[in-house]
Amino acid sequence: MGECVFCLSTAALHDNQVLSRGRSVYVCAPRGQLIEGFLAVAPYACVGALSRLPAEVFDEIERALATVVSFYRDAYGRGSWLVYEQGRGGGGASTDAVAGFPFHAHLCALPIDVDLHTALARRFTAMEIGALRDLPATAGDAPYLYIDGVDAGGCRRRSVYLPMTPPLRAELERSRLKPLIAALAGLPERGTWRAYPGDAELAALRRRFAQWRGSAPFGHDDRGDPFRQRRDGA
Ligand SMILES: [Zn+2]
């Protein structure tokens, strides 16, 4: 089994890629920057999908997302964005059946508008949710794909896509969203981190995030710093 990228103890993520550390979750800049600004929010705990996290963690994840969104608005002038999770481990699977890497829950964010709803609705059943804390009850013990982004009509929706048959469940557990996102964004050659590590974009993102954090008045609410408490105590 490959080492877990999102377990900080493996040091697969360098310290300088971990941009913010909260109580239960952190924000990081992974390799495979499809475009500059690819961020992930992950729990420290090696849990296979967000739906398997305890209820009290979801408010912190929402605050971390608010930080990401503020950063996109301030640093890239983006009023809209894409957030998604490949909840392939939601049914209890702990590793990728093909590549062998461990599933470790992480919410991905990109400062682009790509409609994933239309393509996913052709295969899977959409359940709308209002907040991430509704995810465990909605997904239950199933693998799922979570999309928080605009649809074809330009409406922002938070949807959990679920497989309704065993073959669809197997298909969902094997699915990869990034190649689809890359294709829809007109960058099909950037669909995997191996094909396009995006290290120049990663360096630029780290610099830009540090600048942005440094320019925020300490505890400035508008910057949505979810980790102020932790930093106060550090
Ligand atoms: Zn892990």
Structure tokens at 140: 């239950």
Which is more confidently placed, 7 or 215? 7
Say how far apart CA 116 and CA 184 lie, in whole Å.
8
Average pLDDT over residues 5-10: 95
Q: What pLDDT, on a 0 to 100 scale, did the predictor assign at position 225?
A: 54
Decide if 96 contacts 176 (C-beta within 8 A). Answer: no
Distance from Cα 44 to the centre of ligand 1, integer Å: 8
Cα 96 from Cα 226, distance rounded (Å) = 31
- Condensed to tens digits (0 to 9), the pLDDT of residues 18-52 reads 999 999 999 999 999 999 999 999 999 999 999 99
- For residue 112, pLDDT beyond 50: yes
CATH code of the domain covering residue 130: 3.30.428.10
Residue 232 has pLDDT above 60, yes or no: no
- pTM of this structure: 0.91
Of all residues in the chain, what percent are helix, strand and coil, respectively (each to 5)? Answer: 40, 20, 45
Q: Give the distance (Å) from ligand 1 centre to CA of residue 10.
A: 8
58-76 and 199-215 helices, crossing angle to 10°: 100
Rounded distance from Cα 5 to ligand 1 centre (Å): 6
In a domain, 35, yes or no: yes
Tens digits of residue pLDDT in 150-172: 999 999 999 999 999 999 999 99
Rounded to the nearest angstrom, the distance between the alpha carbon of 4 and the centre of ligand 1 is 5
Instruction: Strands of the chain (E only): list them.
Output: 18-21, 25-28, 39-43, 82-87, 107-110, 125-128, 144-150, 156-162
Query: Is residue 50 within 8 Å of residue 139, measured between CB atoms?
Result: no
Q: What does the block give as tokens for 51?
A: 């739906």
Distance 104 CA to ligand 1 centre (A): 5
146: pLDDT strictly greater than 80: yes
How far apart, in whole angstroms, are the C-alpha atoms of residue 34 and residue 188?
10
**Residue 28 domain-assigned (yes or no):** yes
Report the alpha-carbon distance of residue 15 to residue 44 in Å, rounded.
14
Instruction: Tally the domains of the chain.
Output: 1
How far does the centroid of ligand 1 lie from the alpha carbon of residue 155, in Å?
A: 34
- The yes-or-no verdict on residue 148 having pLDDT over 50 is yes
Q: What are phi and psi of 36, to 5 degrees?
A: -60, 135
% the chain with pLDDT above 70: 91
Say whether pLDDT at 221 is over 80: no
Is 75 part of a structural domain of the chain?
Answer: yes
List phi, psi (to 5°) of 229: -60, -45
Residue range of the domain that includes 116: 8-209
CA 219–ligand 1 middle distance (angstroms) = 30
- How far is residue 168 CA from its own chain's centroid? 22
CA distance 99 to 101: 6
* Inside any domain, residue 69: yes
* Residue 233 placed within a domain: no
Residue 150 alpha carbon to ligand 1 centre in Å: 30
Residue 116 tokens, joined: 């994933």
In a domain, residue 74? The reply is yes
Q: How far is the CA of 8 from the centre of ligand 1 (A)?
A: 8
Within a domain: 144: yes
Residue 1 predicted with pLDDT over 80: no
In a domain, 232, yes or no: no
Question: Which percentage of the chain shows pLDDT scores above 90?
Answer: 82
How much is the pLDDT for 223?
A: 47
* pLDDT exceeds cutoff 70 at 228: no
